[in-house]
Structure 1
Amino acid sequence: MSIIIYVVLFLSVVILLSSLFVVRQQTAAIIERFGRFHSIRQSGLNIKIPLVDRVAGRLSLKIQQLDVLVETKTLDDVFVKLKVSVQYMVIREKVYDAFYRLDYPHEQITSFVFDVIRAEVPKMKLDDVFVRKDDIANAVKAELNDYMTDYGFDIIKTLVTDIDPDAQVKAAMNRINASEREKIAAQYEGDAQRILIVEKAKAEAESKRLQGQGIADQRREIARGLEESVEVLNRVGINSQEASALIVVTQHYDTLQSLGEETNSNLILLPNSPQAGSDMLNQMVASFTASNQIGEIIKRQEREQGLKNKKQ
Structure 2
Amino acid sequence: MDFQIVALVIAAIVLVFIIRSLKVVPQQNAWVVERLGRFHAVLNPGLNILVPFIDRVAYKHSLKEIPLDVPSQVCITKDNTQLAVDGILYFQVTDPMRASYGSSNYIIAITQLAQTTLRSVIGKMELDKTFEEREAINVAVVNALDEAALNWGVKVLRYEIKDLTPPNEILRAMQAQITAEREKRALIAASEGRKQEQINIAEGERQAFINKSEGERQAEINIAQGQAAAIVAVADATAEAIRKIASAIQQPGGTEAVNLKVAEKAVEAYAQLAQKNNTMIVPGNMTEVSALIGTAMTLMKGATPSGR
Give 1:173's aligned residue. Answer: 174
Q: 1:199 to 1:42 in 2, by over 3 A?
A: closer
**CA 1:149–1:202: 2 relative to 1, 3 Å:** closer
- The one-character-per-residue Cα deviations of 1:133-152 (angstroms, maximum 9, x if unpaired) are 22222221221122111221
Aligned position for 2:46:
44
What amino acid is aligned across from residue 153 of structure 1 in structure 2? Answer: V
Residue 84 of structure 1 is matched in structure 2 by 87
User: How far did 1:25 drift?
Assistant: 0.8
State the match for 1:162 in structure 2: 163
* Aligned counterparts of 1:13 and 1:198: Cα–Cα separation in 2: 98
> Counterpart of 1:225?
none
Could you say if the C-alpha distance between residues 201 and 146 of structure 1 is closer, same or farther in structure 2, counting changes exceeding 3 Å? Answer: closer
Q: CA deviation at 1:190?
A: 4.1
Q: CA deviation at 1:129?
A: 1.1
Q: Secondary structure at the match of 1:54?
A: strand
Give the match for residue 75 of structure 2.
72
Q: Secondary structure at the match of 1:80?
A: strand
Structure 1 residue 163 displacement after superposition = 2.0
Equivalent in the alignment of 1:8:
10
**What residue is the counterpart of 2:19 in the other structure?**
17
Q: Which residue of 2 aligns with 1:133?
A: 134
**Superposition deviation, residue 161 in structure 1:** 3.3
Tell me the CA shift for residue 85 of structure 1: 2.5
Deviation at 1:86, TM superposition (A): 2.1
The Cα offsets for residues 204-241 of structure 1, whole Å up to 9 and x where unpaired, read as 9x9xxx9xxxxxxxxxxxxxxxxxxxxxxxxxxxxxxx
Q: Look up the match of 1:96.
A: 97
Q: TM-score with structure 2 length normalisation? A: 0.59
How far has the Cα of 1:118 moved from its partner? 1.9
Query: Do the aligned partners of residues 194 and 35 (structure 1) sit closer, same or farther apart at CA in structure 2, a change above 3 Å counting?
Result: closer
Deviation at 1:56, TM superposition (A): 1.0
Higher CA-based Rg:
2
Counterparts of 1:49 and 1:162 in 2: how far apart (Å)?
51
Greater CA deviation, 173-182 or 129-138?
A: 129-138
Verify the 8 A CA contact 1:70 1:117 in the aligned structure 2: no
Q: Rate the CA distance shift 1:198–1:143 in 2: closer, same or farther, 3 A.
A: closer
- Report how far residue 199 of structure 1 moved: 7.4
Identity %: 29
Q: Secondary structure at the match of 1:184?
A: helix
What residue ranges of structure 1 are gaps of 5+ in the alignment?
211-312
Deviations 1:274-302 (A, max 9, x none): xxxxxxxxxxxxxxxxxxxxxxxxxxxxx
Q: Which residue of 2 aligns with 1:26?
A: 28
Q: Which runs of 5+ in 2 are unaligned?
A: 213-308
Match of 2:26, as an amino acid? R
Q: Paired residues, what number?
A: 209
Q: What is the CA deviation profile of residues 101-156 of structure 1, one whole-angstrom value per residue up to 9, with x for unaligned ones? A: 21111221122222222222122111111222222222212211221112211122
Classify 1:131/1:203 alpha carbon distance in 2 versus 1 (closer, same or farther; 3 Å): closer
Q: Retained in 1: the 8 A contact 2:31–2:96?
A: no
Structure 1 CA distance, aligned partners of 2:196 and 2:42? 81
Root mean square deviation, CA, Å: 2.9
